[in-house]
């Protein structure tokens, strides 16, 4: 008896292949989606770090121009800092609410403002600088009249970063 030769694929084989391709495809899609999400998270963490470093450098650069800490006095902790610079101008570092960022980040955040009071005594917009846009908290503590400790928390979309620094002022000033 001559056997009948069958060519092509059966319906079952086709269904198995389609099922496997579908399964692998779904797993692959899920995997690549999660890869994409993780990559975004890492990028945002890297951006947060970069932002924090920027904020840190800007605060430090500003304070290092000072000669005398006026507030906080030694032993005191405050949410703002007042200091005198080489030109005997009074400078301030303080926070003001940033409503737009607060809405976007769904938490209360502040702008870090640096203001240099010129000799006129009147407010001058040109003397104001925004050092950072999303600071959650900022505290200045003084242990000596020549330096200040800064404790700040920077916020971004994907978390917050807190740093603690001790910054020395210019070694001039006081009694001559």
Partner 1 sequence: MTLIEITIGFAILTAISAFFLSFLTSSSKEISFSADHFNAVILSQKVCEDLLEEIAVNPYGLETLGIDESINSKHDVVDGSSVFFSFIEDRTEPWGLIEPAKDGMINSSMQPLYSSVKKFKFGVSGRRLAKTGDHEDRNLVSCNVDFSWSAQTGKGAYNNSFELFSPVSVKKVSLGVSLNEAAIDARIPPEVFYQPSQTIGELATRIGENVDAVLSVGRISLVSRDFINSQFYRDSKDAIRILLRKLSTLSADDSEEIFETRLQLAKTWYEQAKVCFQIISYLEPHFTTLQQQGKFDGTSGSGFNPISFQQDLMSFRIIYEFFAGAIVQARFHYYQLLQPAMVALKGNKAQLQVIQKLIDIYRITSILPTRPEGMAEYRSFLNRIKGLSENRNPFVNRMIGHELKMLDNRNDWLQHYPNLGRIDDMLTGKMPGILAFIKTKTIGALTN
- Residues at the interface with partner 1 (CB under 8 A): 17, 20-21, 24, 28, 31, 35, 38-39, 42, 45-46, 49, 52-53, 56, 67-70, 73-77, 84, 139, 141-147, 149, 151, 153, 160-168, 173-175
**CB 73 to partner 1: min, Å:** 6
d(CA 96, CA 94): 7
Identity of the residue, 49 or 99, whose beta carbon is nearer to partner 1 in the bound complex: 49
Identity of the residue, 87 or 124, whose beta carbon is nearer to partner 1 in the bound complex: 87
Q: What is the DSSP string of the chain?
A: -PPPPP-S--HHHHHHHHHHHHHHHHHHHHHHHHHHHHHHHHHHHHHHHHHHHHHHHHHHHHHHTEEEEEESPTT-EESSEEEEETTS-EEEEEEEE-HHHHHHHTS--EEEEEEEE-TT-S--GGGEEEEEEEEEEEEEEEEETTEEEEEEEEEETTEEEEEEEEEE--S--S--
d(CA 21, CA 132): 51
Identity of the residue, 124 or 162, whose beta carbon is nearer to partner 1 in the bound complex: 162
Identity of the residue, 40 or 123, whose beta carbon is nearer to partner 1 in the bound complex: 40
**CB 125 to partner 1: min, Å:** 28
**CB 136 to partner 1: min, Å:** 10
**CB 50 to partner 1: min, Å:** 10
Identity of the residue, 121 or 174, whose beta carbon is nearer to partner 1 in the bound complex: 174
């Amino acid at each position: 008896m001559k056997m009948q030769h069958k060519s092509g694929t059966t319906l079952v084989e086709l269904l198995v292949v389609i099922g496997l391709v579908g399964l692998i495809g779904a797993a692959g899609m899920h995997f690549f989606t999660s890869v994409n999400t993780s990559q975004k998270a890492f990028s945002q963490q890297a951006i947060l770090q970069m932002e924090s470093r920027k904020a840190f450098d800007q605060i430090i650069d500003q304070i290092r121009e000072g000669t005398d800490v006026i507030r906080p006095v030694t032993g005191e902790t405050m949410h703002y800092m007042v200091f005198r610079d080489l030109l005997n101008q009074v400078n301030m570092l303080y926070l003001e609410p940033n409503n737009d960022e607060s809405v976007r980040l769904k938490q209360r955040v502040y702008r870090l403002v640096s203001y240099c009071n010129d000799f006129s005594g009147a407010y001058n917009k040109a003397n104001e600088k925004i050092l950072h846009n999303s600071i959650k908290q900022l505290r200045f503590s003084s242990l000596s009249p020549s330096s200040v400790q800064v404790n700040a928390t920077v916020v971004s979309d994907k978390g917050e970063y807190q740093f603690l620094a001790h910054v020395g002022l210019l070694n001039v000033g006081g009694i001559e």
